[in-house]
Every structure is written in C-alpha cells, then in structure tokens.
Amino acid sequence: MSDMNRSSSHPWLSYTDTIATARRDQLLLAARILAGWIYFQGSWDKLADIPRFAGGLARRGVPLIFGYLAPFVEGLGGLSLMLGFATRYTALLLILFTAGASWTSHRYWLLPAAEQGRQATQFWKNVTMMGGLLAIFVTAGGRFSIDRLLQRRS
C-alpha cells in the first residue's frame, strides 16, 4: 500500500482519508491555486511602480537589484505554482522568496513593543505559507498541472 493510500491515524480519526485519496488531484489543484494566488496578486502593485518598491527596500538595506527582481519572482512564481509548472522548483523558489521577504520586511522584533503586533502577524503568516509551500514541494503538481502534461510528452 502506498503512503498516499495509507490511513492517516487510528480508524476513528481517519474518516476523511477516503476524501483525501479519492480527490487528491483536485485538492492539489485547489492548494496550488490558493497558495499561488497570494503571490500572483501581491506582485501587481509592485509591478505597477517597481522603482518605488525597489527604493523602499533599498532604504531598509536591501540591495536595489532585489527590489527590481522581487516583483517578477513573486508574480511569475505565483502563476507558475497555480498552473503547476516546474512545481517543485517553484515551491522552493517561493520558500526562499518568502523567507527573504519575511526577514527584510517583517522584522517585528526590531520594533517598539506597541508596533510589533501587525508585523509579527505578517511574519508568522509567511512562516505558515512556507509550510504550505513545503507540502506542495513534497506532493508536486498532481494530475491537473503543466508538469503532468510535460511528463506525458517525454
């Protein structure tokens, strides 16, 4: 029995296993779209005024080149994840991107206590997103992905 068809736990706690295994590819598609959308839509404001975005990062000590690259990585990475193209590479790229964004833009521990709340929430949201991307890295794109179409042609 493969790992994907194995019960998740004690029989009392595994009633959802049938749903997860029977709808695996549909659920992977939904997961990729949900995870990719935040990156894709988050890139639009940055792409609309890249010099402003890059300048803001530069004022925080981030090399200017990253400010010009980040909107493209974010937008194309989100689109690639939603389409299931190079899914594992994209997931790893977005994990690195999210770690960098968290480190440069959400350093709540450097702020006065009264100002930490919002940035702490953003930082830990990003950590959670990295967990979801790690799960996508493990599962790959699934049946409804460009990766699967390309696999059939080779």
Q: Are 88 and 80 in contact (CB under 8 A)?
A: no
Residue 5 has pLDDT above 80, yes or no: no
Amino acid at site 79: L
The secondary structure of 65-77 as a DSSP string is: HHHHHHHHHHHHH
Average pLDDT of the chain? 92
The whole-number pLDDT of residue 1 equals 45
Chain centre to alpha carbon of residue 22:
25
CA distance linking residue 75 with residue 77, whole number of Å? 5
What is the value of pTM for the model shown?
0.88
pLDDT tens track for 66-90: 999 999 999 999 999 999 999 999 9
What DSSP element (H or E) covers 31? helix 24-48
Mean pLDDT value of segment 19-28: 93
